[in-house]
């Protein structure tokens, strides 16, 4: 495995791989790798002749009062995990190289897709995401890029951006990976105290409850939202940022449950913000 911090060197490797007819798979991350990331790397390894992983805690997708500074980092642990996952190129750029002093260009995905949910809670977040992903695609030059479905809206925004800008990259969305007790894997889980870790289970339990109601025949979004809300509100330190049932393509609110109905949850527990989601007509994975 090669560790690369130079943008030009990474781009040259990507372009050379393309020119040599190799398929290049790419997993962009902010590091502090967990089993969710490893599932992306595994699929990337399976699909690509070459596998690139980027680790870059992207400052432009954090708001001024968010957790950029305390975002968890452990490069040597990530490096070991990347090595055992069969990564060929670990791209680890410096923020000053990605955003030099005279940097001025931003990619904006406008419209409903990016304005709701995370877009409403975190102004500027998706501008930061779309911009850095466009840059990383141009630097790494992958044929396919893999993203987890926990950040469902991010995946939708990246698909839209990739299509709209005609980037020759296939976007692959991969299922959410969960802890044994159902909590969705997230680098931010490490922030949680034991008590908050316990309370955080309400998120996946609310999704499971909603999924069960729908399996029992409930078709009203407001009914499943009520039961999910009750479950979340049972936890004293859990504050709901949003709890929605949306069309999974448009991400606009939907009143009647159908195949595309997706429940999305964002909460704060103490100072930790967690998100999760589930397609309500899909059976719950695992126990």
Residues making contact with its own copies (CB under 8 A): 7, 11, 15, 18-19, 21, 102-111, 113-114, 130, 134-135, 138-139, 141, 160-161, 164-168
- Retrieve residue 2's tokens: 């090669």
**Catalytic site residue from 34, 37, 125, 196:** 37
Q: From the CB of 118, what's the least distance to its own copies, in Å?
A: 16
Q: From the CB of 103, what's the least distance to its own copies, in Å?
A: 6
Of 227 and 247, nearer to its own copies (C-beta) is: 247
Q: From the CB of 10, what's the least distance to its own copies, in Å?
A: 9
DSSP structure class, residue 68: T
Handedness of CA 214, 218, 219, 220 (dihedral sign): negative
Q: From the CB of 112, what's the least distance to its own copies, in Å?
A: 9
Of 104 and 256, nearer to its own copies (C-beta) is: 104
Of 8 and 83, nearer to its own copies (C-beta) is: 8
Q: Angle, nearest 10°, between helix axes 35-47 and 75-84?
A: 40
Could you give the CA distance from residue 152 to residue 116 in angstroms, rounded to a whole number? 12
- Retrieve residue 274's tokens: 């967690």
User: Does 34 participate in catalysis according to the annotation?
Assistant: no
Pairing of strands 238-247, 261-269: antiparallel
* Residue at token pair 């955003």: 99
Residues sharing a CB contact under 8 Å with residue 213, sequence separation 6 or more, in sequence order:
223, 224, 227
Could you give the CA distance from residue 71 to residue 57 in angstroms, rounded to a whole number? 8
Of 17 and 30, nearer to its own copies (C-beta) is: 17
> Which residues participate in catalysis according to the annotation?
37
């Amino acid at each position: 495995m090669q560790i690369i911090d130079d943008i030009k060197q990474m781009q040259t490797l990507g372009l050379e791989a393309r020119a040599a007819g190799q398929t290049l798979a790419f997993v962009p991350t902010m590091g502090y790798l967990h089993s969710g990331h490893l599932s992306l790397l595994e699929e990337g390894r399976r699909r690509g002749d070459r596998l690139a992983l980027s680790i870059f805690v992207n400052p432009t997708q954090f708001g001024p009062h968010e957790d950029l500074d305390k975002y968890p980092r452990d490069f040597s642990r990530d490096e070991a995990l990347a090595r055992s996952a069969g990564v060929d190129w670990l791209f680890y750029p410096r923020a000053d190289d990605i955003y030099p002093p005279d940097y001025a260009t931003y990619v904006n995905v406008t419209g409903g897709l990016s304005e709701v949910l995370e877009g409403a809670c975190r102004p500027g977040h998706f501008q930061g995401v779309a911009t850095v992903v466009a840059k990383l695609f141009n630097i790494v030059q992958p044929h396919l890029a893999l993203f987890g479905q926990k950040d469902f809206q991010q995946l939708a925004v990246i698909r839209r951006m990739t299509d709209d800008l005609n980037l020759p990259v296939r976007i692959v969305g991969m299922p959410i990976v969960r802890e044994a007790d159902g909590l969705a894997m997230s680098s931010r889980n490490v922030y949680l105290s034991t008590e908050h870790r316990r309370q955080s289970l309400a998120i996946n339990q609310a999704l499971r409850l909603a999924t069960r109601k729908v399996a029992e025949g409930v078709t009203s979004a407001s009914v499943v939202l009520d039961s999910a809300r009750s479950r979340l509100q049972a936890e004293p330190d859990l504050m709901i940022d949003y709890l929605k049932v949306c069309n999974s393509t448009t991400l606009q609110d939907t009143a009647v449950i159908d195949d595309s109905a997706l429940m999305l949850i964002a909460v704060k527990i103490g100072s930790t913000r967690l998100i999760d989601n589930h397609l309500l007509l899909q059976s719950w994975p695992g126990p």
